[in-house]
Amino acid sequence: MGKFKKKKGGELPAISTASLPDIVFMLLFFFMTTTVMRDSSALVKNELAFSDQATKIKDKNLYEYLMIGAPTDKKYGTNPKIQLNDVFGSVDEVRGFVRESLVSKSDVDKPKVTFGFKADMDATMGIISDVKDELRKENALKIAYYTRTGELSMNK
Amino acid sequence: MGRRKIPEINAGSMADIAFLLLIFFLVTTTMNQDRILTAKLPPWLPDNANVDIIIKEKNIFKILVSKDDVLLVENERMNIKDLRQAAINFLDNGGGTGENSCSYCKGKKDPKSSDNPAVKAVMSLKNDRGTSNKMYMSIQNELIAAYNFLRNRSSLEKYDLDWATLEEEYKDASPGPKKAALKKKIKAIKALWPKKISESVNK
């Protein structure tokens, strides 16, 4: 019985856990702020063209984008493809994508929604033109081209 | 033996340290803010709708890009470096007379070039299906740069304000009379230099 009483008096005091919530919240906030930007992983090569006239996006909520570029995985070929959200999409699926993106928006925001192209600089305009036609059919006429800040001479 | 009791660490300042770190990360993690060039598409018309809009040749700034990224402006080869100035010259020409005259244009008033940027002048950008995106973006960028240059000039003349700062202030302003006033200014400038770029594909 006395076996258990031996250590009495020599224990370390318990480490205060009062700051644990703070640390947890700090981590939480940190991850919250950093994980917002990547909502889908790119299946296509996506090196945007450079431009020096581009403006910043103010309200991210009003912008929907689709990606166009050669697939990163060679087994899907080398021709530029469209990526809608997380999957490859065909030109015919663009209209569905437009309607789907508008569903979640409020009625006030609907006419303000801009559809953007995140197109790889080496993609050809043919596929982009096809998508533009689909957007026109869906009456989504406000469009945007995503670019990187830089000199035009970097578009090589 | 007199093993000393370790005194309890004061955790009172821990929260402060945590917040300090939090604020540090908030400030330093730059969210890669997206940058865009905006454009507007024409409404889709069914094939049988035959709408012919007649625009005088001189009021169209014809830009053609081939599948090999060769740039043709008004049927002549041009280096992308010269496009901005050529576009400015075209828009700023102000060759119109009478009701089409342009009081704020400072161009050469060449009767063979555009009449009035507010009502007449149109940019026509035609590309091939094989045109590369980077070339197309470069052209878009230069055309927008031309408009921005001219808008900036008018904005400085009228309101003594940079066009860029005017737009920035408008975006950052909270709704109210100040924002409304800024919006009015922006609208006035945009009415002087409306962005009329028609994009089409060579079929």
Q: Report yes or no on A54 lying in a domain.
A: yes
Per residue in B71-119, pLDDT (tens digit) is 999 888 989 889 999 999 888 888 777 777 888 888 888 888 888 888 8
**Partner residue opposite B138 with nearest CB, options A29, A120, A155:** A155
- Chain A residues touching residue B149 (CB < 8 angstroms): none
Interchain CB distance below 8 Å, B21 and A26: yes
The verdict on residue A97 lying in a domain is yes
d(CA A51, CA B2): 73
Residue B141 has a pLDDT of 92
ipTM above 0.90, yes or no: no
Name the band, by pLDDT with cuts 50, 70 and 90, for residue B48: low
Q: Is B169 exposed, middle or buried (0-12, 13-18, 19+ CB in 10 A)?
A: middle
What are the E-state strand segments in chain B?
A: 35-40, 60-65, 71-73, 76-77, 122-127, 197-201
Report pLDDT digits (tens) over B176-194: 888 888 899 899 998 889 9
Position B143 scores a pLDDT of: 92
Give the whole-angstrom CA distance, residue B13 versus residue B75: 72
Residue B202 CA to its chain's centroid (Å): 24
**Residue A36 belongs to a domain:** no
What residue numbers bound the domain in which A68 lies? 50-154
B69 touches chain A (CB under 8 A): no
What is the C-alpha end-to-end distance of chain B, expressed in Å? Answer: 95
**B203: chain A residues, CB-CB within 8 Å:** none
**Residue that wins the pLDDT comparison between B161 and B15:** B161
What does the pLDDT read at residue B147? 92
Does residue A114 fall inside a structural domain?
yes
**Cβ distance of A26 and B134 shorter than 8 Å:** no
What's the farthest any 2 CA atoms get from each other in chain B?
A: 108
The stretches in chain A having pLDDT less than 70 are 1-10, 31-32, 34-40
Full-model pTM: 0.78
Average pLDDT over residues B165-175: 85
CA A85 to chain centre: 9
CA angle A26, A31, A34 (to 5 degrees): 125
**Residue B35: strand pairing partners:** A56, A147
> What is the spatial distance between Cα B89 and Cα B39, in angstroms, rounded to a whole number?
21
| Domains identified in chain A, total number | 1
Q: Touching check for B9 and chain A: CB below 8 Å?
A: yes
- Binning pLDDT at 50, 70 and 90, where does residue B144 land? very high
Q: Is residue A14 assigned to a domain?
A: no
In a domain, A81, yes or no: yes
- For residue B126, list its beta bridge partners: B64, B200
Q: Which amino acid is at B139?
A: I
Whether the Cβ atoms of residue B117 and residue B153 lie closer than 8 Å to each other: no
Q: Which residue has the tokens 């060769």?
A: B70
Domain CATH for A81: 3.30.420.270
- Confidence at residue A40, expressed as pLDDT on a 0 to 100 scale: 59
- Does some domain include residue A103? yes
Verify whether the Cβ–Cβ distance A124 to B137 is below 8 Å. Answer: no
Look at residue A55 and tell me if it is in a domain.
Answer: yes
